[in-house]
Amino acid sequence: MSEPIYLRVAVPVPVRSLFDYLPPPGVDHRALVPGIRVLVPFGSGRRCGVLVEVSNRAAGEGGVLKPALRLLDHEPLLPAGDLDLLRWAADYYQHPVGDVVTAALPARLRQGREPLDDIRSGWRVTGTGKAVDPTTLSRAPRQATLLALLQGEAGGLTLEELRERGGDSRSALRALQQKGWVERCLVEPRPRPLPERSPAPTLGREQKQALDAIGGRLGRFAAILLEGVTGSGKTEVYLGAVEQVLERGRQVLVLVPEIGLTPQLVGRFQRRLRAPVVLLHSGLSDGERERAWQQARRGTARVVIGTRSAVFVPLPELGLVIVDEEHDLSLKQQEGFRYSARDVAVMRARRCGCPVVLGSATPSLESLRNALDGRYLHRRLTRRAGGAAQPRMDLLDIRSVRLDAGVSPALLRLVGETLDAGDQVLLFLNRRGYAPILTCFDCGWVARCRRCDAHMTLHWKSRRLWCHHCGSQRPLERTCPDCGGAGLHPLGQGTERLEEMLRGRFPDAGLVRVDRDSTQRRGSMERLLEEIRAGRHRLLVGTQMLAKGHHFPDVTLVGILDVDQGLFGADFRAGERMAQMVTQVAGRAGRAAKPGRVVIQTRHPDHPLMQDLVRQGYDAFARAALAERRAACLPPYSHQVLLRAESVRPEQPVGFLEQAVEMARRHAGPEVGFWGPVPAPMERRAGRYRAHLLLQADRRQPLQQLLAAWIPELAATRLARRVRWSIDVDPQEMF
Ligand code: ADP
Ligand code: ZN
Ligand code: ZN
C-alpha cells in the first residue's frame, strides 16, 4: 500500500494556519500540484482554497480528516516560488496565511470560478455602419470617434481597447447601436498593434552610470537606490534597464504608488518598449484584472505596471523589479493584510535572484539608511535632465500677516505676476472641502462628528458636513443647533474655499481644482491633466493628487500654503513626510525651459528642519533627520510592531492590550521594549474606542520570534474575540 497523502490547503478564513485534507477520492496523485485551487468542505459549507503543500504527514493530530471535494485547476495558478513568497509574507506580517494566499488570486478565481477564456465581448460595425462617413456625425463627436475606431477594426474591439484609444462612451455606443451601425460581438484576442515608438534620449553621465549599475547586476540579486531629484530622468534609467531585461527574455515588474496619478509613466512605457505592457490596479473590472493577471502568469505580458498588490502577481520569468516613488505611503497597505509592497518587492527580488531598483526624489529614511550603510547600491541623479534648472525655494513668513483664504498678499502678488507673464501657477493645500471647522460665533458651538473625536469638514458646494475620518455626512445646518442663532461661520480653509477666493481675483485664469472631490468620476483625472498640459488652465489648485509625478512644463510658480502641522505632528515621521511633500510639490515647478520658483508660507521660518530643507534640499534634510533618529533609537535604527485594538466599549481595548503585554513579557527577551498600552491620539473613531501597544527592538529577529510565539496564544484568548485587533509589523502610521 502506498503512503498516505495529505493536502495542506490555504483556506480564506481568519485562522492562522493551513488546513489538512485527504485527496479527493479517485484523483491521480500526479494532479496534486501545489498552486492549484481545491474545493474543500469547511464547517457546514464549502470553500475554494489553494493547495500549498502535499505531505505524507498530517500537521494537526487526531481527528478524522475529510477529503477535499474537487481539484479546480489542471496547472498551478501560483507557481512554487510565488507561493513561498506569500507564505513568507504571511509569517513576517503575522496575517492569516489562508487570507494572504487566496487574496493573491483575481476575484473570480478566488470564488472558485472557471478562468475566463480569451474570447472577449466587444463591439463591431455592421454592414450599414461600414458605409457611414463618420464626419457626418460632427454634432456627436463621441459617436463619430467610436464609429471611426470600429470601422478601422473589422474584428471588433473590446470596451477596454476602445477606452485605450479614447472612445469609451457607453451612451454613444448605444446611440450607434440604435441606428443599426454597430453591434455586440465576441472579439478574438490579437496581438496589440504596438504604438509608434518614441526614441530614447541620449542619457546624461549620471543616468548612464545608474543604468550601468543596474545592467551589470542582471541575473543576480542587488538592491539599488536611485535617488534622483525631480525631473532628473529616473524614468529614462528605468526604461533603459527594462529594455536590457526584455532583450534577455525576462519579465519586469514595475510598482507605482497610484496608477491614476501616473498615466504619463504608463504611456511612456508603452511607447518606448517593443513588448506587451499590462496594467494591474484597482480601477480595472474583475475581468480586465483577471486577464492581465493571466497574461503575466503565462508570460505573454513582458512588463507589468501595477499598484502595491501587483507585488504578488505571478511572473515566471521575472528579471527586474522597479519600485517607483519608493517612499510613498500608498505602497503600504494600512488595513487587513498590512504589508509594505516595497519591502516585499525587495524580498521577492532576493528570492528570485534579480535586481530591484528603488527610485525616488525623496527616499524614505529606511532606504536611505540601507544605501548609506552599503547594503543597497546608491546611485544619484543630482541634476535635472535636459538642462532645466532646480527651482528656487523661499520661505514666506506669515506671522502677523492678514491672509485671504489662507493666502498672503505677497503670494497673491506673485500669482498675479506669473499669470500676467502667461505662465501656470500651482497652489498646494492638502485639505479638501471648504473649511475644516464650522463654528457658532454666538455661543462657541463647533460641528463635531458624532462617531469620532473630530471636527466635521464643511463642504460648501454640496452644502454638507463631512467627517474625513469615518466618512459620515449630514446636511449643513442653517442655524446653530445649540443657540438657534444665525452665527455659523467657517474657520480655516480647504481647497474649495481657496478656489472661491482665487476665482474672484483671477477670473480669467481658467482655474482648476484637483482633489478627490473633483476627480471622483472615472477618467476625470486624466481629462483634467490633459487640459492642464494643453494650457487650458493656468491656475491650478490642489491637494497631494497634484503633487505626484506629473510633468507640467509651464508651471513656474508653486505656492505651498500650509506646512506647519508637519513640523509639530505627533508622529515621529511627520517631519519626513512634510519634507517629502514639499520637495515633490516643489518639483512640479520649472521642469522645462523656464526657471521655477517655490514659495512656502510658514509661521515658523526659523525651524531648523525647514531651514535645512529650503537651504540645502531634501538630501541634507534627510541626513540630518537620520542622525536624529539614530540618537533617539527610532526606525530605521530600530524596528517596531504595533498592536492596535478597538471596541465600542471604552474599557475593552486597553483591557485587551494589558492582557497582551503580560502575555508577551513571558515570551519576550530583554531586547524587546514595550510602550503602552495607550489610547490612540484620536481615541474614538467611527464609534469605536481605540488604543495601541508599541513594541520595539534594535533587531528584527527578537521581534519576529516573539510574534511567532505570542500572537497565536493571544488570538486564542477570550478577549481577542470581543475586540477588533490587528498587528502591524513595521508600522508607518502611529494611530
Ligand atoms: P524623473 O522620472 O526623474 O522625474 P523623467 O525621466 O520624467 O524624470 O525626466 C524628466 C524629463 O526630462 C522628461 O521629459 C524626459 O523625457 C526628459 N529627459 C530625461 N532624460 C533625458 C536626457 N538624457 N536627455 C534629454 N531629456 C531627458
Ligand atoms: Zn450658537
Ligand atoms: Zn467621523
Classify residue 450: in a domain, yes or no: no
What DSSP character marks residue 9?
E
- How many whole angstroms from its chain centre is CA 606? 34
Measured in Å, residue 449 CA sits from the centre of ligand 3 at 5
- How many whole angstroms from its chain centre is CA 526? 17
Distance CA 677, CA 690 (A): 10
- How many whole angstroms from its chain centre is CA 439? 35
Is 452 flagged in the annotation as binding? yes
Distance CA 256, CA 548 (A): 11
User: Kindly report the CA angle at 659 between 658 and 660, in degrees rounded to 5?
Assistant: 90
Classify residue 115: in a domain, yes or no: no
Classify residue 409: in a domain, yes or no: yes
Measured between alpha carbons, how far is residue 263 from residues 47, 277, 499, 549 in Å? 38, 13, 25, 9
Measured in Å, residue 482 CA sits from the centre of ligand 2 at 5
Q: Give the three-class secondary structure for 205.
A: helix
What integer pLDDT is reported at residue 1 of this predicted model? 47
What integer pLDDT is reported at residue 106 of this predicted model? 94
* 576 and 612 belong to one structural domain: yes
- For the Cβ of 49 lying below 6 angstroms from any atom of ligand 1, the answer is no
Q: Give the three-class secondary structure for 560.
A: strand
Please, which residues have CB within 8 angstroms of residue 647's CB and are 6 or more apart in sequence?
Answer: 653, 656, 688, 689, 722, 723, 724
What integer pLDDT is reported at residue 194 of this predicted model? 60
DSSP string, 91-141: HHTT--HHHHHHHTS-HHHHTTPPPP-S-EEEEEE-HHHHHS-GGGGTTSH
Distance CA 321, CA 355 (A): 7
pLDDT band at 551 (very low <50, low <70, confident <90, very high): confident
Domain count, the chain: 5
pLDDT > 60? residue 241: yes
Is 470 flagged in the annotation as binding? yes
Is 480 flagged in the annotation as binding? yes
Query: What mean pLDDT is predicted for residues 340-366?
Result: 97
* 17 and 69 belong to one structural domain: yes
- For the Cβ of 360 lying below 6 angstroms from any atom of ligand 1, the answer is no
Query: Does residue 677 have a cis peptide bond before it, meaning omega lies within 30 degrees of 0?
Result: yes
- For the Cβ of 357 lying below 6 angstroms from any atom of ligand 1, the answer is no
Which domain-ending residue is among 110, 135, 162? 110
* 58 and 156 belong to one structural domain: no
**Closest Cα to atom 11, ligand 1: which residue?**
231
Which domain-ending residue is among 600, 632, 664? 632
* 379 and 392 belong to one structural domain: no
Which domain-ending residue is among 80, 110, 140? 110
Digit-coded pLDDT (tens) for 450-486: 999 999 999 999 999 999 999 999 999 889 999 999 9
Q: Closest ligand 1 atom, CA of 388?
A: 12
What DSSP character marks residue 282?
T
The ligand whose atoms approach the alpha carbon of 362 most closely is 1
pLDDT band at 564 (very low <50, low <70, confident <90, very high): confident
* 338 and 287 belong to one structural domain: yes
CA-based torsion, 109, 112, 118, 123: positive or negative: negative
- For the Cβ of 235 lying below 6 angstroms from any atom of ligand 1, the answer is yes
Distance CA 102, CA 105 (A): 6
Which value, to the nearest 10 degrees, does the dihedral of the CA atoms of residues 725, 727, 732, 735 take? 20
pLDDT band at 234 (very low <50, low <70, confident <90, very high): very high
User: Parallel, antiparallel, or unpaired: how do β-strands 488-491 and 673-685 relate?
Assistant: unpaired
Is 185 flagged in the annotation as binding? no
Nine-digit cell at 510? 481658467
pLDDT > 90? residue 47: yes
What integer pLDDT is reported at residue 263 of this predicted model? 64
Classify residue 87: in a domain, yes or no: yes
Classify residue 459: in a domain, yes or no: no
Using most ligand atoms within 8 A of CB, pick from 207, 236, 269, 326 the residue to mutate for ligand 1. 236
Q: Give the three-class secondary structure for 660.
A: helix
* 403 and 373 belong to one structural domain: no
Please, which residues have CB within 8 angstroms of residue 205's CB and are 6 or more apart in sequence?
Answer: none
Nine-digit cell at 725? 485587533
Q: What percent of the chain has pLDDT over 90?
A: 63
Is 443 flagged in the annotation as binding? yes
Amino acid at 621: F
Please, which residues have CB within 8 angstroms of residue 381's CB and are 6 or more apart in sequence?
Answer: 204, 206, 207, 210, 226, 227, 228, 229, 232, 233, 234, 237
The ligand whose atoms approach the alpha carbon of 480 most closely is 2
**Residue showing cell 486577464:** 291
**CATH number of the domain within which 33 lies:** 3.40.1440.60
Distance CA 294, CA 297 (A): 5
Distance CA 660, CA 643 (A): 9
Average predicted confidence (pLDDT) for the chain: 90
Backbone angles phi, psi at 644, to 5 degrees: -105, 150
The ligand whose atoms approach the alpha carbon of 456 most closely is 3
Query: Does residue 193 have a cis peptide bond before it, meaning omega lies within 30 degrees of 0?
Result: no
Amino acid at 87: R
Residue 305: enclosing H or E segment and its boundaries? strand 303-306
Please, which residues have CB within 8 angstroms of residue 72's CB and are 6 or more apart in sequence?
Answer: 36, 37, 38, 39, 48, 112
* 262 and 406 belong to one structural domain: no
Classify residue 468: in a domain, yes or no: no
Distance CA 254, CA 280 (A): 10
- For the Cβ of 233 lying below 6 angstroms from any atom of ligand 1, the answer is yes
Residue 489: enclosing H or E segment and its boundaries? strand 488-491
Nine-digit cell at 544? 497631494
* 132 and 178 belong to one structural domain: yes
- What angle, 0 to 180 degrees and rounded to 10, lies between the N-to-C axes of helices 234-247 and 205-215? 30
pLDDT > 90? residue 640: yes
Classify residue 479: in a domain, yes or no: no
**Residue showing cell 486624466:** 526
Q: Closest ligand 1 atom, CA of 202?
A: 23
**CATH number of the domain within which 252 lies:** 3.40.50.300
Say which residue, 477 or 504, is predicted with more confidence: 504
The ligand whose atoms approach the alpha carbon of 467 most closely is 3
Query: What mean pLDDT is predicted for residues 255-278?
Result: 81
User: Parallel, antiparallel, or unpaired: how do β-strands 19-21 and 6-10 relate?
Assistant: antiparallel
Digit-coded pLDDT (tens) for 669-718: 899 999 989 999 899 999 999 999 999 999 999 999 999 999 999 998 88
**Residue showing cell 498600552:** 677
Say which residue, 109 or 140, is predicted with more confidence: 109
Which residues, listed in sequence order, are joined to residue 120 by a DSSP beta bridge?
A: 187
pLDDT > 80? residue 550: no
Q: Give the three-class secondary structure for 196.
A: coil
Q: Which range of residues forms the domain containing residue 331? A: 205-384
**CATH number of the domain within which 713 lies:** 3.30.70.600
Classify residue 485: in a domain, yes or no: no
Which value, to the nearest 10 degrees, does the dihedral of the CA atoms of residues 718, 724, 725, 731 take? 180
Contact at 8 Å (CB) between 525 and 533? no
Query: What mean pLDDT is predicted for residues 294-313?
Result: 94
User: Parallel, antiparallel, or unpaired: how do β-strands 251-255 and 70-71 relate?
Assistant: unpaired
- For the Cβ of 231 lying below 6 angstroms from any atom of ligand 1, the answer is yes
Distance CA 585, CA 588 (A): 6
Question: From the CA atom positions of the chain, what is the Rg in Å?
Answer: 28
What integer pLDDT is reported at residue 189 of this predicted model? 64
pLDDT band at 171 (very low <50, low <70, confident <90, very high): confident
- For the Cβ of 385 lying below 6 angstroms from any atom of ligand 1, the answer is yes
Distance CA 238, CA 324 (A): 9
Which value, to the nearest 10 degrees, does the dihedral of the CA atoms of residues 565, 693, 102, 56 take? 150
Nine-digit cell at 203? 542619457
Digit-coded pLDDT (tens) for 366-383: 999 999 999 999 999 998
* 420 and 537 belong to one structural domain: yes
What integer pLDDT is reported at residue 173 of this predicted model? 86
- For the Cβ of 228 lying below 6 angstroms from any atom of ligand 1, the answer is yes
Query: What mean pLDDT is predicted for residues 192-219?
Result: 87
What DSSP character marks residue 183?
E
- For the Cβ of 267 lying below 6 angstroms from any atom of ligand 1, the answer is no
Amino acid at 633: C
Digit-coded pLDDT (tens) for 86-133: 999 999 999 999 999 999 999 999 999 888 766 567 888 888 888 888
pLDDT > 90? residue 135: no
* 645 and 611 belong to one structural domain: no
What DSSP character marks residue 63?
S
What integer pLDDT is reported at residue 663 of this predicted model? 94
* 352 and 404 belong to one structural domain: no
Q: Strand runs (DSSP E) across 147-296, as ranges?
A: 157-158, 182-187, 222-228, 251-255, 277-280
Measured in Å, residue 24 CA sits from the centre of ligand 1 at 57
Measured in Å, residue 458 CA sits from the centre of ligand 3 at 13
Which value, to the nearest 10 degrees, does the dihedral of the CA atoms of residues 643, 649, 654, 656 take? -70
Q: Give the three-class secondary structure for 252.
A: strand
Nine-digit cell at 85? 513568497
User: Kindly report the CA angle at 71 between 66 and 76, in degrees rounded to 5?
Assistant: 125
- For the Cβ of 203 lying below 6 angstroms from any atom of ligand 1, the answer is yes
Give the global pTM.
0.87
* 215 and 306 belong to one structural domain: yes
Is 48 flagged in the annotation as binding? no
Query: What mean pLDDT is predicted for residues 612-616?
Result: 90
